[in-house]
Copies of this chain bind each other. A is one copy, B any other.
Amino acid sequence: MIKFDTSHAMEKAFKAAQEAALKGEVPVGAVVLSPDGETLSIAHNRVEETYDASAHAELLAMRLAAQKVGSPRLVGCTVVVTLEPCAMCAAAISHFRCERLVFGAYDPKGGGVEHGARVFEKRSCFHKPEIIGGVRGREISQLLKGFFQQLR
């Protein structure tokens, strides 16, 4: 059970996603919260800027948070991200030992939590977070749709 409200964190993640869009990056934003609900890190996609195909919002946010904590394990921490994580990021959430995942829009094409590889449902998954999906889904889907329509 989540012990604190994550709507502020989702608002920060959403703003980070909007910033990403302005920079020509796929608009996804993420925040990592400490066990007490404090913001440890905020990040958005930076794939094009950094020439790093793994620079997804939640992966960057977890790496930043781990630097802050001084450990590769984010025990008790919550990842709040605007889009359903892909298989890479879902598996990374296990590697970082995050306790909770709160995500916005579902991603039937690229998602790896409720779709595709369904990383956390595999027997071999050694760490499964508590998961809450679909938060502010419509609004976030609109942001993504608008971005991809502009690209065409």
Contact residue range for chain A? 35 or more
Contact: B116 with A124, CB < 8 Å?
yes
Collect the chain B residues with CB atoms within 8 Å of residue A112's CB: 87, 91, 117, 119
Q: Which of A54, A116, A118 has the most CB of B within 10 A?
A: A54
Report if A62 contacts B (CB, 8 A). yes
Shortest Cβ distance from A108 into B: residue = B124
Assess the B95–A54 pair: CB atoms within 8 A: yes
- The listed residue with most B CB atoms (<10 A of its CB), out of A48, A86, A124, A126, is A124
Which of chain A's residues 121-151 have a Cβ closer than 8 Å to chain B? 122-126
Q: List residues of chain B with CB within 8 A of the CB of A96.
A: 53-54
Copies in the complex: 2
A97 at the interface (CB under 8 A from B): yes
Q: A76 in the interface, Cβ–Cβ < 8 Å?
A: no
Say whether B88 contacts A110, CB under 8 Å: no
Q: Are B53 and A62 in contact (CB under 8 A)?
A: yes
Q: Tell yes or no: A115 within 8 A of B by CB.
A: yes
* Across-interface contacts of A87 in B (CB, < 8 A): 87-88, 90-91, 112, 117, 119, 122
**Which 3 A-B residue pairs are closest in the complex by CB-CB distance?**
A88-B91, A87-B91, A116-B124
Residue pairs across A and B with Cβ atoms less than 8 A apart, 12 shown, are A50-B72, A52-B72, A54-B54, A54-B62, A86-B91, A86-B95, A87-B88, A87-B112, A108-B124, A110-B126, A116-B123, A117-B124
